[in-house]
Chains A and B, each alone.
Chain A
């Protein structure tokens, strides 16, 4: 049981190992707070879709299963859109087109197809939370590297009077802007993935 939960973090990390959900992983990670928001949205949608798909697996005809999954996923995405727009409009604004694009995040459809339609509701819930956290974890790492290098700040959730932004002395005056742009995102992603591969290879050699 515990394995279903922890596999998403490192061994089957959706972003670094399976290379799924790449568009949001790079599109929203110029700030840590955006990564957190996107992660929360994806966890919610993944949880909802895994529960519904696993519960309905005996009722959905084989031939129309993909459109059926897409309808389920799109319904949850619409809920996320409405809740975000109503309660955290600033985040909704800065995530922009990537909120409705959660629909086509391959991680979610991938889990429905590869896991939820073969397993029980309980296992699917654990799988959803584990994979969702693994996805969020990957986004936070990418966002952390990009924001520290590209803006010299770390922006977290604002609490009370504190705006949630930590400036790094020295770096925030002269940041390497390219890291907050598309080019930097692709480079950071490439090197992080290489780091992951290297760690895996070292582990394999140690065994």
Chain B
């Protein structure tokens, strides 16, 4: 698949949150206001694109040559945990202002299914190094798009009257459901029409 194809696929057609059910915890938990949603979105995008590349390297330079692919789950999650830790330390040293903005979201990213999800999906789709990186970046941007839309809607929703049992997370889920319904318009046919 071409790079543009991969980008359209992961941002719209297979949007991680709205069609693949990956990364729902932060989508519901961190979407109460736009500022934190954007912070989380960028932190996730950053980690996902590096994680996809790093796990590609592990898969092809360590696991396959040594014939220990059954250790995939353990090595990938350790890689991601180490990566998140490293990114946190690096940002803290190099850019305190960026750390201030993203810092509190970084530890949460280790257990975000979207990150391990893109690593596994990229390996299963047999992408090469650059394709893995682009897929990670695109999936992260898809996450950013969904959480940004969601937080904007939720900020507006705060001013509206909502029946008491639906307040908080239930209405967030229903909003997400309606967004997913809209995203159903993006399908394989769209991709074929756009890039033939």
* Residues in chain A within 8 A of chain B (CB atoms): 19-20, 22-24, 26-27, 66-67, 70-71, 74-75, 77-78, 81-82, 97, 100-101, 103-104, 106, 109, 178, 181-187, 189-191, 193-195, 197-198, 201
B165 partner, pick from A67, A101, A183, A201, beta carbons under 8 A: A201
Q: A19-B29, A23-B24, A27-B20 given as contacts; is B178 within 8 A of A183 (CB)?
A: yes
The answer to whether A109 and B111 have CB atoms under 8 Å apart is yes
15 sample A-B contacts, Cβ–Cβ < 8 Å, listed by A number: A71-B74, A78-B70, A101-B120, A104-B77, A104-B116, A181-B19, A182-B20, A184-B177, A185-B177, A190-B170, A194-B163, A194-B170, A197-B166, A197-B167, A201-B164
* Residues in chain B within 8 A of chain A (CB atoms): 18-25, 28-29, 70-74, 76-78, 81, 110-113, 115-117, 120-121, 124, 163-174, 176-178, 180-181, 183-184
Instruction: Give the residues in chain B near A189, CB-CB below 8 Å.
Output: 173, 177
> How distant is the Cα of A23 from the Cα of B184 in the complex, in angstroms?
19
B24 partner, pick from A22, A67, A70, A77, beta carbons under 8 A: A22
Main SS class of interface, B:
helix
Count contacts between A and B, CB distance < 8 Å.
129
Shortest beta-carbon distance from B118 to chain A in Å? 10
The answer to whether A104 and B170 have CB atoms under 8 Å apart is no
The answer to whether B73 and A74 have CB atoms under 8 Å apart is yes
Instruction: Give the residues in chain B near A103, CB-CB below 8 Å.
Output: 73, 77, 116
Q: Which of B20, B72, B169, B183 has the most CB of A within 10 A?
A: B169
> How distant is the Cα of A154 from the Cα of B152 in the complex, in angstroms?
38
The answer to whether A23 and B180 have CB atoms under 8 Å apart is no
The answer to whether A19 and B28 have CB atoms under 8 Å apart is yes
